[in-house]
Amino acid sequence: MAEGCRSVTSEFDFTWDIECFEDHVRKRFQEIFSPTFELKCVHVMRFFIRLKLSHTKNDYKLAFSMFAVGGSELREITTRLELSVASEDGGRRFQKSCTLYFPDECGDERERPFIERGAALLEHLSRGRLRLHCHLAASVNPARTAKFNFSADLQNLSNQMEALRLDASMRESVITVRGESFGVHQCVLLSRWPNYPDYIELFKKDLIAPDLHSGLQVIRLSALVEAAAKISPLEMNSKECRERAADMYDLLSPRLFDYLLSYVYSGRLRRISPAEKLKLVRIGRQFGFGEMVERSQEVPAASTGVTRCSTEAHSIEWRCEDTRRWRESRFRPLTQIINAHKEARGSLEVVFFIDSQKQHGDIMLEVCFTSNDLLAAVSCLVTVTKFDSSSVRQSSFTFFAKDFEDPVGRMPVGLSKLDLRDTLFRVEFSFSNDSSFNQNGTGIVSNVFELSAHEVEIVPCLLSYSYQMDFFYEEAEAHDTELIAEGKVVRAHRHILSARSPRFRRDLARDLKRLGVIKHFVNRVGFDALVEMVRYLYTGGCHLEYLEGDGKPNLAQDLCIAGLLYELPDLKEKCYQRLRRRTFRRVAKT
């Protein structure tokens, strides 16, 4: 580590229940690999642990090493490994620990001898299960630390595309699974369903038929399944294809298909029971959802501080001494998605923000019930502590879903902008559900955050979602709308435009069910601004600093007007802040 260069330590926990360890020893396996887990600082880095078995005549030795998949911007990870045999009553019958530094001077891999006499470990396994617990302290440059969250723009993209799926009035096509109909849109399937373009190219006549009564297109599920079986990478004869299609058809339920469509539209993975996950993996592989299958299988037994975790608690910490941006009235420093512990229990969306309506700009905590039909009430306790522990404040509140239209609940954290001038705070908040919810065994979700002033980072699954949508926009595949500005054409898809912009939804309402390509004239918006505004609608991203460097100095101003006209408040605000910073720099130079 460079001398005199300050570092920040973030702590993460990972627990691995090692299944069938005795069988591995008996069969003289050489290596056992853990599920991958992720640490997030600037970028998400994926790691896994290897236990190496060295067999002797009557015994074996156990060594431990850690690997990174891809590069690492971390300076150092100190890993404390603890191997134990956990009994059913919660006790530990065997315990052994060691410490490993990663990466070391020799490179990214270092093997650490762990247990010299493995036979002693096997004696305890008949009375419990083998568990590996890792506590990782990751050291990183504080200027590069990042938040564990979704960006607001990508979150809006995800939510609005999911709303498009659920809006019956916006349906374009229908798929029926065991009597239950699902509305879908060809443009979304083409952009997000990996093999769907191949299905259309090879089997369109069998796959899609118009419904003259409803005016919608009907996608035949049987043809969809048969198409998936026929273009499988496995070489199969016609009989094997039919058998594979029949097997998939039997596995598909309305619930699983809804899960697939939710992933396609929102880019997010919902919780799913272990039994259904096995079916989902088989179906996902057959339909070409490789990324979804990979992510759904990478949930460790228990963990904290990883991107995808199934545990009841999260613990994430970071520090930053620069709190200037906290004084901005519209600064929203954190958005955290907290999943319920039980599958199908919905999730909470937690946001810190500064309430500019208050005299001193109070910092508020906003809780949004993302599944308002599943969560009845949530109690929240917030504790604010100075880093030097000289001051502690507590506030609590109970949010009832039925009381909020969105439904959203808000409560003061106990800080204002004035408090942020010369000190840092640690904010802890925990959520517990009401008694009727608790009797199902959901427990309490706890989160710890040390508030930072750095730029918002984004979750990788939504990042890949944004990339796919950007590629689809650039290719303009199967476009059904031509937007015309300054005599030039931008090709797009009317349902995506309508889902993301209230103005487009009103303007294109009569054309949603029309066949063929429509032309729509866009007034008061220049061509360059229109191109980037539509890109924002598809991807949730807008990189003004790069675009203005490409000879478009007035793009921020033009996009600000476009955001106002097409009712895109986040885009308008982003451009406004860009113009404001540019004005401040110009004034500072004079």
Q: pLDDT for 342-357, tens place per residue? A: 444 455 666 666 676 6
Per DSSP, what are the bridge partners of residue 302? 15
Residues 6+ apart with CB under 8 A from 11: 135, 136, 137, 138, 305, 315, 317
- Amino acid 87: pLDDT: 67
For tokens 């373009």, the residue is: 197
- Amino acid 574: pLDDT: 81
Beta strand 129-140 pairing with 173-177: unpaired
Mean pLDDT by 10 residues, the chain (590 residues): 39 69 72 68 61 74 70 59 69 68 50 67 68 66 39 78 93 94 95 92 90 88 91 74 88 93 87 81 88 64 29 30 42 51 53 66 67 53 60 61 55 65 56 42 42 40 78 91 96 96 94 90 93 94 68 83 92 83 62
CA 544, CA 524: separation in Å to the nearest integer? 20
Burial class of residue 198 (count of CB atoms within 10 Å of its CB; 0-12, 13-18, 19+): middle
Asked if residues 173 and 166 have their Cβ atoms less than 8 Å apart, the reply is: no
For tokens 């990788």, the residue is: 460
For tokens 């999730």, the residue is: 347
Residues 6+ apart with CB under 8 A from 554: none
What are the φ and ψ backbone dihedral angles of 129, each rounded to 5 degrees?
-115, 150
Mapping DSSP onto H, E and C, the string for 237-260 reads CHHHHHHHHHHHHHHCCHHHHHHH
CA 190, CA 42: separation in Å to the nearest integer? 31
Asked if residues 546 and 530 have their Cβ atoms less than 8 Å apart, the reply is: no
Q: What is the DSSP string of 51-66?
A: EEEEE-SS-EEEEEEE
CA 55, CA 536: separation in Å to the nearest integer? 58
- Compute CA distances 449 → 6, 11, 190, 306, 348, whole Å: 20, 12, 39, 14, 16
CA 31, CA 53: separation in Å to the nearest integer? 6
Of the candidates 561, 540, 365, 371, which has an alpha carbon nearest to the alpha carbon of residue 447?
A: 365
Q: 263: which 2 tokens?
A: 């992933």
Asked if residues 463 and 453 have their Cβ atoms less than 8 Å apart, the reply is: no
Alpha helices in 422-493 (DSSP H): 435-438, 460-475
Q: How many CB atoms lie within 10 A of CB 146?
A: 19
Q: Residue 229, Cα to own-chain centre: how many angstroms?
A: 30
Beta strand 31-33 pairing with 60-69: unpaired
3-state secondary structure of 148: coil
pTM value?
Answer: 0.58
Structure letter (DSSP) for residue 104: B
CA 475, CA 225: separation in Å to the nearest integer? 27
Asked if residues 419 and 395 have their Cβ atoms less than 8 Å apart, the reply is: no
3-state secondary structure of 138: strand
3-state secondary structure of 413: strand
Q: 305: which 2 tokens?
A: 């501080």
Helices 152-166, 569-589: axis angle to 10 degrees equals 160
- Amino acid 502: pLDDT: 95
Burial class of residue 24 (count of CB atoms within 10 Å of its CB; 0-12, 13-18, 19+): middle
Burial class of residue 589 (count of CB atoms within 10 Å of its CB; 0-12, 13-18, 19+): exposed
3-state secondary structure of 372: coil
CA 31, 281, 457, 81 dihedral sign is negative
CA 247, CA 257: separation in Å to the nearest integer? 15
- Amino acid 386: pLDDT: 59
3-state secondary structure of 312: coil
- Amino acid 51: pLDDT: 77
